[in-house]
Amino acid sequence: MTQDAPRCYALVPCAGSGQRAGTAGPKQYAPLAGRTVVAHTLAALAAVPRIVATLVVLAPDDDQFERQLAGAGDARAWPARCGGATRAASVAGGLAELLAHGAREHDWVLVHDAARCLVRAAWIERLIDACLADAVGGLLALPLADTLKEASGSAAGAAADRVARTVPRGGKWLAQTPQMFRIGLLREALAQAGDAVTDESSAVEALGLAPLLVPGDAENFKLTWPADFELARRLLQTR
């Protein structure tokens, strides 16, 4: 790699509370198959040689990271307590932190959910290979296989939603992470899109750009609900 060649950084937003997960505390610190959730995530990122460093964005009042990951860290990873109230704010704060520590605007950043702890290094490498020569960047994603229903919304006192219509699934993909973009481009996109966007690709799309869809894997799901933890535990134990 030449001196001016773009480098790859990872950024892990880790400032959420994970209220839907049903865990006793933030889900990223929940125990899972002998490690915390985020420790599995960081181990996968550490297995990718082209990622030169990983920034973990924590809430300002986080008092668990160093204690929970004692002895399980990666020399290329460091925490920064610059997380915000939303994912977009946390990522924006992390991008500023990367630039303050020597990253450049034309370097790449791979933003990855702390709770996608089953990600594999090979899938990350696939994303890097696809995006390095691209003008925009891209994300891991899965073509939608199931029939997609749109709900009408529950009536007052109703026990469940009802189907309003079936949405054609052709051309529909489920977004995953990592999502890989140039640091400067992503900073501009987030600054214009505001805090409402739920992933980095949405912000880049709002600039009129079209990120690459790079095939991911069904195992790369985000731990959100209590049942997800049992499924992730079984998958990790059978690897």
- Domains of the chain, CATH where assigned: 8-140+175-238 (3.90.550.10)
Nearest CA-CA partner of 95 in 212, 206, 187, 217: 187
Angle value at C-alpha 146, between 143 and 152, nearest 5 degrees: 115
The answer to whether 181 and 200 are in contact (CB under 8 A) is yes
- Assigned token pair, 230: 């049992």
Q: What's residue 141's pLDDT?
A: 98
The arithmetic mean of pLDDT across residues 161-184, rounded, is: 95
Q: What's residue 160's pLDDT?
A: 73
pLDDT tens-digit profile of 181-220?
Answer: 999 999 999 999 999 899 999 999 999 999 999 999 999 9
At 26, the pLDDT band (50, 70, 90 cuts) reads confident
Question: Does 13 score more than 60 pLDDT?
Answer: yes
Q: What's residue 21's pLDDT?
A: 44
| Average per-residue pLDDT for the chain | 91
Cα R_g (the chain), whole angstroms: 18
Q: What's residue 69's pLDDT?
A: 82
The arithmetic mean of pLDDT across residues 104-115, rounded, is: 98
Question: Does 157 score more than 60 pLDDT?
Answer: no
- Give Cβ neighbours of residue 4 (< 8 Å, ≥ 6 apart): none
Q: What is this structure's pTM?
A: 0.92
- Assigned token pair, 200: 């980095």
Q: What's residue 68's pLDDT?
A: 86
The arithmetic mean of pLDDT across residues 81-106, rounded, is: 97
Q: What's residue 239's pLDDT?
A: 84
- Give Cβ neighbours of residue 218 (< 8 Å, ≥ 6 apart): 142
pLDDT tens-digit profile of 49-75?
Answer: 999 999 999 999 999 999 888 666 567
The arithmetic mean of pLDDT across residues 153-165, rounded, is: 73
Question: Does 152 score more than 50 pLDDT?
Answer: yes
At 225, the pLDDT band (50, 70, 90 cuts) reads very high
% of the chain with per-residue pLDDT over 90? 81
Nearest CA-CA partner of 200 in 57, 45, 67, 72: 57
Q: What's residue 22's pLDDT?
A: 47
The better pLDDT of the pair 2, 198 is held by 198
The answer to whether 8 and 107 are in contact (CB under 8 A) is yes
Return the beta strands (E) in the chain as ranges. 8-14, 31-32, 35-36, 51-58, 77-80, 108-111, 137-143, 148-151, 163-167, 173-182, 212-215
Nearest CA-CA partner of 136 in 207, 199, 194, 197: 207
Question: Does 170 score more than 60 pLDDT?
Answer: yes
The arithmetic mean of pLDDT across residues 109-118, rounded, is: 97
- Assigned token pair, 106: 């034309």
Largest alpha-carbon pair distance within the chain?
A: 64
